[in-house]
Amino acid sequence: MKYIDTNIIEINSINPDEESVLKGAELIRKGKLVAFPTETVYGLGANGLDVKAIANIFTAKGRPQDNPLILHVYSIDQVEELAIDISKEARELMKEFWPGPLTLLFKKSTKVPNIITAGLDTVAIRMPDHPIALKLIEMSQVPIAAPSANTSGRPSPTMASHVEEDLSGKIDMIIDGGTTGVGLESTVLDITGKQPIILRPGGITLEDLRNIVPTVVEDQGIIHEDIVPRSPGQKYKHYAPKAKLILFTGEVDNMVKAISKKAYIYISQGRNVGIMATDETIGRYKEGISISMGSRKDSRTIAHNLFNTIRILDSKGVDIILCEGMERSGIGTAIMNRLKKASSGNIKKV
C-alpha cells in the first residue's frame, strides 16, 4: 500500500471551528479518507457515494469485503434519498434517538453503492450525536461511510492517538476532537422485517428501544456462543488485544479469587499479566498490572473506558489479560458482547 502523509488537526468538540472542519469536508469530497470523532468511537470517513473512496476504507482497515458499512447522515432528508419503504416505527425511532448511537437498517435505494452494503439489499444508516461529525457531514454534502477507525480486529479507537497508532500513513487526515463519549459502537437495529431485531448491542439499550417499539428483540447469536449471529460483522474476530484475553464471569467475589489465582500462576511462569478490574475490586489484586475501568455501579463509565484499558495494557507489553465480567443488563449487554469477542470465546465461568 502506498504511504500517505496523514495530517492531524485538532478541533474543539463543543464548538467546532468551521474553517477547520471545511478542510476535512473538502478532502471527503475529493475521495480522500478522514478519521473523525463521533459520540461512540472514532470513525474512518469517506464519501459514501464514491465507490473508489469506499474501497480505500476496506484497504486501509484490512476489513473483509463482506462486512457492510454504516452511512452517516446529518438530516432525515438524506435518509429519504438512501432508503425506501421507511416504516412508521423507523420514523418514531429516528425522532426519539437521533442524533445518537442507534444505527437503523432500511431497504436500500438505487443511490447506495453495492460496496457499502456488501451486496445486501439493506443499508445501515445513523445520525451521530457529535458537533464535529454533524458539521463534517453537512459540509461534505454527501452521506459519509464510516466504520470504526481502527485496523480490523483491533479495539475500536476512543481517542485520536488510537487512530494514529493503527492508521497513520494509510489515511489523509485525523480530526482530533478529544475522547469519545459512549466508548462503544452504536446499537444496530434491523427494522426491515416483521420483528425488529438488535443485531449488535450498543449505546442505546434494549430497554430504551422497547419504550418506543415494545416488540424489539435481541438476535440470539449475540448472546449465545453456539448460535451464528445474523449480522455479517458479528462473526469476525474483533476488539482483540495483542495479548491473550481471558474473560471471567460469575459472582464478583469468585471472579476476584479466580483471577488472583490465575495471575499468580502465570506470573510464576514468568508471564506478564494485566488485569481489567473495577473500583470495587482493584484493591484486592496483589499481582500483575491492574487497571480499574470504573465502578460496577456505573456501567456507562466502564463502557467509556473499555477499549482504552485494553490498549493501555497492550502498550505495557502484557501477554495475558484477565478481565472481570459485568452484569448483562442495560449497556452491560454491549460491554459483554465486546469482551466476549475480544476473548475469542476464552471465557471462564466461576
Query: Closer to ligand AMP at the Cβ: 262 or 338?
Result: 338
Beta carbon of residue 147, minimum distance to Mg ion (angstroms, whole number): 5
- The Cα 336–Cα 249 span in angstroms is 10
Beta carbon of residue 326, minimum distance to Mg ion (angstroms, whole number): 20
When CB distances are held under 5 to 8 angstroms depending on the partner's kind, the choice from Mg ion, ligand AMP, none that residue 68 binds is: ligand AMP
**Beta carbons within 10 angstroms of residue 287's beta carbon:** 14
Stretch that binds ligand AMP, among 67-75, 127-135, 246-254, 288-296 (CB under 6 A): 67-75
- Tell me: does residue 187 bind Mg ion (CB under 5 A): no
- The Cα 49–Cα 188 span in angstroms is 21
Task: State which residue has the least CB distance to ligand AMP.
Answer: 233
Provide DSSP, 4-61.
-PPEEEE--SSS--HHHHHHHHHHHHTT--EEE--SSS-EEEEETT-HHHHHHHHHHH
Query: Closer to Mg ion at the Cβ: 41 or 104?
Result: 41
CB 131 within 8 A of CB 13: yes
- The Cα 95–Cα 202 span in angstroms is 18
Q: Give 113's DSSP letter.
A: -
- Tell me: does residue 47 bind ligand AMP (CB under 6 A): no
> Cα–chain-centroid distance for residue 328?
18
- Tell me: does residue 122 bind Mg ion (CB under 5 A): no
Beta carbon of residue 39, minimum distance to ligand AMP (angstroms, whole number): 14
Query: Closer to Mg ion at the Cβ: 292 or 333?
Result: 333
Beta carbon of residue 176, minimum distance to Mg ion (angstroms, whole number): 19
- Tell me: does residue 48 bind ligand AMP (CB under 6 A): no
Q: Considering just the CA atoms, what is the radius of gyration of the chain in Å?
A: 20
Site string for ligand AMP, 146-185 (x = CB under 6 A): -xx------------------------------------x
When CB distances are held under 5 to 8 angstroms depending on the partner's kind, the choice from ligand AMP, Mg ion, none that residue 72 binds is: none
- Tell me: does residue 222 bind ligand AMP (CB under 6 A): no
Q: Collapsing DSSP states into helix, strand and coil, what is residue 116?
A: helix
Residue closest to 130 by CA, chosen among 117, 115, 118, 146? 146
Q: Are strands 7-10 and 217-218 parallel, antiparallel or unpaired?
A: unpaired
Using CB atoms within 10 A of its CB, is residue 286 exposed (0-12), middle (13-18) or buried (19+)?
Answer: exposed
- The Cα 32–Cα 214 span in angstroms is 41
- Tell me: does residue 68 bind ligand AMP (CB under 6 A): yes
Site string for Mg ion, 138-167 (x = CB under 5 A): ----------x-------------------
Chosen residue from 94, 104, 112, 124 binding ligand AMP by CB under 6 A: 124
When CB distances are held under 5 to 8 angstroms depending on the partner's kind, the choice from Mg ion, ligand AMP, none that residue 330 binds is: none
Nine-digit cell at 171? Answer: 489515511
When CB distances are held under 5 to 8 angstroms depending on the partner's kind, the choice from Mg ion, ligand AMP, none that residue 45 binds is: none
When CB distances are held under 5 to 8 angstroms depending on the partner's kind, the choice from ligand AMP, Mg ion, none that residue 13 binds is: none
Query: Closer to ligand AMP at the Cβ: 122 or 299?
Result: 122
Using CB atoms within 10 A of its CB, is residue 7 exposed (0-12), middle (13-18) or buried (19+)?
Answer: middle
Question: Which residues in this chain contact ligand AMP in the complex, by CB under 6 A?
Answer: 67-68, 70, 105, 117, 120, 122-124, 147-148, 185, 188, 199-200, 231-234
